[in-house]
Amino acid sequence: MRIDSLNGKKITAIAGGVGGARLARGMAAHLDSDQLTIIVNTGDDFEHLGLNISPDLDTVMYNLADLAQPEPGWGIRDDSFDCMKAVEKLGGETWFRLGDRDLATHILRTQWAQQGLSLTEITRRLTEKLRIKHTILPMSNDPCCTMIETEEGMLEFQQYFVQHHCQPVVQRLFWQGGDSAQPTPEVMQALDTCDMVVICPSNPFVSVDPVLNLPGVRECILQKTTLAMSPIIGGRAVKGPAAKMFSEIEGVDASVEAVVDHYGELLDGIVIDEIDDALVKTLRVRLSYVKSMPTLMLTLEKQIEVGETFMEFAGEVLDQESVRKKQ
């Protein structure tokens, strides 16, 4: 089902992690291929067992290809792990588990990178083979690794997230390579030509900020109508360490208000879960557009349902913005 109010409109989404991938899948069900572009965080990218791993790109790709495991939401559904068992038996590192079918993605990504292809071109090849119609773009072709300074030392994000189960207290985040990393021309074109930017319900610190911190990205988004979906529901994150990071990095309790504070002037509106409905009036003092609705997307059916309601609201926002600009 297509959303009539969005006919001819282009949406550029910023996504990372499971929440972002699920909303992207839901939006894709209601937008034509030329209407939706998804910019994906690559701050999580790292090398493991000699392979180039792009966790957020893969999570978004597998969700849009309807291949993702329903739980935990990443990896390939019904994958086997015979290779990991053999690696473990031979004494190799297995803290980051790669499924047998998932390995094909990483092998080809590594091979193509060694042949000189950019991450953008590699992602295009993979999405084409997975028969994904909508455009998925890595935020940069340059290395830009999210580093987490903790009480236990400096960790790459995947070490913190997977190997250490998000347990160390976070003291500081920074991006290794952030001084030189550039957004791709494709990313800047998608932002420049879209009618709306959507910030998906991804971890603001490690899934969205790496994109926003690239040169020119924040300034471009400021010129756009921007709508976010809160990753915090009832004071908690559905998945991952977002709530913990609000407390440890910003010294505040995780809340919808904290999300709005974090994104600040970038936002024109926000969608929050119905459990936080009491906050709508307060948020409308700060933002032009606020809507509460069910936002949990634990099944494909729910992703499509939430995507439809979210896109209908996006269409209403764009209509109102069009009227406002003519006045």
Tell me the average pLDDT across 224-233.
98
Task: Please write the tens of the pLDDT for every residue from 146-179.
Answer: 999 998 899 999 999 999 999 999 999 988 887 8
Q: Where are the alpha helices (DSSP H) in 142-182?
A: 157-158
**Opening angle at CA 85, ends 81 and 88, nearest 5:** 135
pLDDT, residue 1, reads 58
166-170, 196-200, 304-308, 321-325: which has the minimum mean pLDDT?
321-325
94 by DSSP, 3-state: which? coil
pLDDT, residue 239, reads 85
What does pLDDT average to over the chain?
A: 95
Work out the number of other CB atoms within 10 angstroms of the CB of residue 117: 16
pLDDT, residue 179, reads 84
Half-sphere exposure of 111 (CA within 13 A, CB side): 8
pLDDT, residue 71, reads 86
Tell me the average pLDDT across 310-322.
93
pLDDT, residue 317, reads 95
Answer whether residue 327 shows pLDDT above 70.
Answer: no
> Structural domains in the chain?
4-148+178-326 (3.40.50.10680)
pLDDT, residue 151, reads 86
| Of 255, 239, 236, 244, residue with least CA distance to 297 | 239
* 266 vs 258: CA distance, rounded Å: 14
Answer whether residue 7 shows pLDDT above 90.
Answer: no
Strand order in the sheet with 145-150: 153-156, 145-150, 170-176
Task: Please write the tens of the pLDDT for every residue from 9-50.
Answer: 999 999 999 999 999 999 999 999 999 999 999 999 999 999
- Token readout for 90 is 């031979």
Tell me the average pLDDT across 285-301.
96
